[in-house]
């Protein structure tokens, strides 16, 4: 019984660092991201890391209806662009990473 316990303990100690390293690699994401807006257009771009990014904008149409709109998902170094349609006015903007 003592040998079995020792083997389990050694196995746990040796595999714990491997699990931690694997989790770190899976958590890679875009870095150096920015979102900018000009009038009714929002743009988002990331210059580092891995993954994708997209622009978001909150639009007000005719002073009463609010809608979220999203640009396409793009890779690192590319720019995602989205605009308010139908005469809408952008009142907030952001980026999302994936």
Judge whether 15 lies within some domain: no
Judge whether 11 lies within some domain: no
Distance, C-alpha 98 to centroid of its chain: 4
Domain of 60 in residue numbering reads as 29-97
pLDDT of residue 26: 55
What is the number of other CB atoms lying within 10 angstroms of the CB of residue 65? 10
Provide the number of structural domains found in the chain. 1
Give the tens place of pLDDT for each residue, 3-23.
Answer: 433 344 444 544 444 444 444
CA torsion sign for 34, 38, 39, 40 is negative
Judge whether 91 lies within some domain: yes
Judge whether 46 lies within some domain: yes
Does residue 92 register a pLDDT over 90? yes
Half-sphere exposure (Cβ direction) of 12: Cα atoms closer than 13 Å: 6
pLDDT of residue 71: 98
Q: With beta carbons less than 8 A apart as the criterion, state whether 57 and 68 touch.
A: yes
Query: Shortest CA distance to 45 belongs to which of 93, 1, 92?
Result: 93
Give the tens place of pLDDT for each residue, 35-88.
Answer: 999 989 999 999 999 999 999 999 998 888 889 999 999 999 999 999 998 889
Judge whether 2 lies within some domain: no
């Amino acid at each position: 019984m003592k040998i079995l316990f020792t083997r389990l303990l050694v196995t746990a100690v040796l595999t714990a660092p491997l699990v931690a390293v694997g989790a770190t690699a899976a958590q890679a994401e875009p870095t150096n991201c920015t979102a900018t807006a000009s009038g009714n257009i929002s743009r988002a771009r990331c210059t580092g890391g891995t993954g994708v990014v997209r622009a978001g904008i909150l639009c007000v149409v005719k002073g009463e209806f609010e809608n979220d709109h999203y640009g396409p998902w793009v890779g690192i170094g590319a720019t995602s662009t989205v605009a308010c349609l139908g005469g809408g006015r952008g009142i907030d903007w952001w980026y999302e990473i994936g």
